[in-house]
A and B are shown apart, each in its own frame.
Chain A
Amino acid sequence: MNSIEKINKILSNRQILYLLLIAVVLGIMLHPLGIPIGIAGQTRDVYNYVDKLPQNPKILMDVHYDPAGATELQPMAGAFLRQVITKSPKIVFFTTHNVGPIMFERLKGYFPDVFSQLKYGDDYVNLGFLPLAEATFASIAKGAQEFVAKDVYGASTADMPIFKVADKAADFNVVVLITTSTDPVEYAIRQWYTAYKMPLLFMVVAVIGPSVQPFVASAQAVGMLSGQNAAAQYELLLKKPGSAVAAVDAQSGAHVLIMIYIVLGNLIYWPMRRMSKKAGGKTK
């Protein structure tokens, strides 16, 4: 085995890659590098849009994420709530992800400064898990209170003052979809934007960002925050750096490692191919 083959064997070793990745991420998390974070135009647009919302905005929020997506989405949701709390909002929360009720409680736990300023039933309500179906989105637009008779805690929604001002599609100033999947995005476009022209704001994990971007480009959504980087930018715009800002350094470190792997892999590929051709075999 020559040196090229040895390097190829090391690069192809899954265990070594995992160890390096964990070491790089953990190392940078413990000793942050403080790489400067630039603010993207799209993040600034979202910040400005939220800033221009009227006093007492009525907001509909779908908490559609699981613990895996929480790293990217929870800081975004928290930053958004911190910005909007200054306007005394009325927020109707629901979730179309079956882990959503737990994630909502975690959101409450991580941002007590936000929720301590809101009174349950008057300023916010949690409708809990509703099935991820197009009919759910259509029904909420027609009247959230009538659709869901009891909230996540089993209390009757009929007696809650919030639904006097934030119930039907026309009542809401903005709809925020915090999601790890494109399904709710598509349902929202069809049932909320196309049918009622409800302003949509997407907060998505980076992996679905490119799939959601066309809806923002076509002005079917007022904006989008995609991935941990956007969450960090939003936190910086709010001047309240949080977990996203802390994580972005480690994210950059991991990306550098992967880029090194891609470059080395390609550099090794050519001599390997030449050697394989000489030996009359196929390239692995």
Chain B
Amino acid sequence: MTAAVPIWDMFGLWIGAALTVWLFSFAFKDNALYKLAEHLFVGIAAAYSFTIAIDGILRTGIAPVQQGNILRIFALILGCFFFAKYFGKYSWIARFGPAFVIGVGLGISVTTAPEGFVLAQVKSSMLPLWTGDLLQSLTNILMTFIVLGGLTYFMFTFVPGIRGVTKVTKKTPASHLYAVLVKIGIYGMMIGFGALFASTIVSRVAYLIGRLTDLIASPEASIVATILVIAAIAYAYQHEKKTAVGKIEQKESKKNP
């Protein structure tokens, strides 16, 4: 015997299952239940974001001031400046908030970005071409050539006459090497994009599995929601047919009054 599920939990499961089925129904045809689910989502998301924002201000802005961290007052004042845009004459004050946010963001990232994003990546790209292990060595060689090829592909000015910048008058060893590296770069990137696309499929299928797991948890709700959505899609088809027929009749009556 299964344990009794509290009434509100059961209600939540039914609503969740129904909304899932209704949102999936868009893959088959736009219908009234899909629109209902979509509008509910937008409305609830807006209200939720609003409460989360207020909660954040209370916990990280006002509470520290109450505990004696007076400096946070300046942050709160800067935040209030955003509202100045509603007062035409003083709307320019609203720029101080974003300016401060952008300035601080840029300031703290500029100091660490070169080391974290450039130097570390360059260092990790400098691989030994022979390690003693054949497979590892081949991997390293491939990796090195793809890095070089990728960088060469995005080098637009070094070798003239390539890729339609100017006409090639004479092919040189440098331009041949350039062309080979560009090709390696293109294939390397294609493999990279393929991996990204495959990963996207993996994630999207996982999303589907997640939703279907929830639907299996409340089969009665899923079945009822599916029946409702089939009815809504049938109605949408009927409505479309009627309006399409109506439009044709109107056109014909205008042509032949």
| Between-chain CB contacts (< 8 Å), 15 pairs | A15-B28, A18-B24, A22-B208, A71-B210, A98-B49, A98-B52, A128-B56, A156-B67, A158-B67, A193-B116, A210-B192, A211-B196, A218-B121, A227-B203, A251-B206
In the bound assembly, the distance between CA atoms of A101 and B53 in angstroms comes to: 12
Residue of B nearest to A102 (CB): B48
Given contact pairs A29-B216, A207-B203, A255-B202, enumerate 8 new A-B contacts (beta carbons under 8 Å).
A21-B208, A67-B210, A134-B109, A150-B63, A156-B67, A190-B109, A190-B113, A194-B112
A220 to B118, CA, bound (A): 12
Q: What residues of chain B lie closer than 8 Å to A150, measured between beta carbons?
A: 58-59, 63
For A18-45 the 0/1 string (1 means CB < 8 A from B) is 1001100110011000000000000000
The reply on A1 being an interface residue by CB < 8 A is no
Q: Which of A26, A190, A206 is B206 in contact with, Cβ under 8 Å? A: A206
- A279 close to B (CB within 8 Å): no
Across chains A and B, the number of contacting residue pairs, with CB separation under 8 Å, is 152
Given contacts A18-B27, A214-B124, whether A149 and B48 have CB atoms under 8 Å apart is no
Residue of A nearest to B196 (CB): A210
Interface residues on A, range: 35 or more
Known: A195-B112, A251-B205. A149 touches B199 (CB 8 A): no
A210 touches B195 (CB 8 A): yes
Q: A190-B116, A194-B115, A243-B213 are in contact. Are A25 and B206 (CB under 8 A)?
A: no
B210 touches A70 (CB 8 A): yes
Q: Are the CB atoms of A15 and B27 closer together than 8 Å?
A: yes
Instruction: Name A's B-contacting residues (CB within 8 A).
Output: 14-15, 18, 21-22, 25-26, 29-30, 67-68, 70-72, 98-99, 101, 128-131, 133-135, 138, 146-152, 154, 156, 158, 186, 189-191, 193-195, 205-211, 214, 217-220, 226-229, 243, 247, 250-251, 254-255, 258
* B123 beta carbon closer than 8 Å to chain A: yes
User: Is B116 a contact partner of A228 (Cβ separation < 8 A)?
Assistant: no
- Contact present for A214 and B52 (CB under 8 Å): no
Partner of B108, one of A15, A191, A208: A191
A189 and B117 form a contact (CB under 8 A): yes
Give the shortest distance, in Å, between A146 (CB) and chain B (any CB): 8
Question: In the complex, A247→B206 CA distance in Å?
Answer: 8
B246 within 8 Å of A by Cβ? no
Contacts of A152 in B (CB 8 A): 59
B104 CB–A CB distance under 8 Å: yes
Contacts of B204 in A (CB 8 A): 207
Secondary structure at the B interface, as helix, strand, loop or mixed, is helix
B201 within 8 Å of A (CB atoms): yes
In the complex, what residue of chain A is closest to B203 when comparing beta carbons?
A207
Chain A residues near B196: list those with CB within 8 A. Answer: 207, 210-211
On whether the beta carbons of A149 and B60 are closer than 8 Å, the reply is yes
B212–A26 CB distance below 8 A? yes
Interface residue B69 (Cβ < 8 Å from any Cβ of A): yes
| Residues in chain A near residue B202, CB distance under 8 A | 206-207, 227-229, 251, 255
Q: Does B105 contact A (CB under 8 A)?
A: yes
Residue ID in chain A nearest B194 by CB atoms:
A210
Nearest first, the 7 closest Cβ-Cβ pairs linking A and B are A71-B210, A218-B124, A194-B116, A207-B203, A149-B63, A206-B202, A190-B112
Among candidates B59, B101, B199, residue contacting A210 with C-beta atoms closer than 8 Å: B199
- Measured CA separation A191–B116 after assembly (Å): 9
Most chain A Cβ neighbours within 10 Å, of B69, B199, B206, B210? B206
B209 adjacent to chain A (CB < 8 Å): yes
Q: B192: which A residues are within 8 A, CB to CB?
A: 210
Across-interface contacts of B64 in A (CB, < 8 A): 146, 149
**Using Cβ atoms and an 8 Å threshold, which residues of chain A touch B73?**
none
Q: Min CB distance, B250 to chain A, in Å? A: 30
CB-CB < 8 A to A194: which residues of B? 112, 115-116, 120
Are A130 and B212 in contact (CB-based, < 8 A)?
no
With CB as the reference atom, state the residue of chain A lying closest to B104.
A135
Nearest chain B residue, comparing its CB with the CB of A250? B209
Q: How far, in angstroms, from A247 to B212 measured CA to CA in the complex?
A: 10
Bound: A209/B195 CA distance, A: 10
How long is the Cα–Cα vector from A90 to B116 in the complex, in angstroms? 28
**B38 adjacent to chain A (CB < 8 Å):** no
Q: Which residue of A lies closest to B116 (CB)?
A: A194
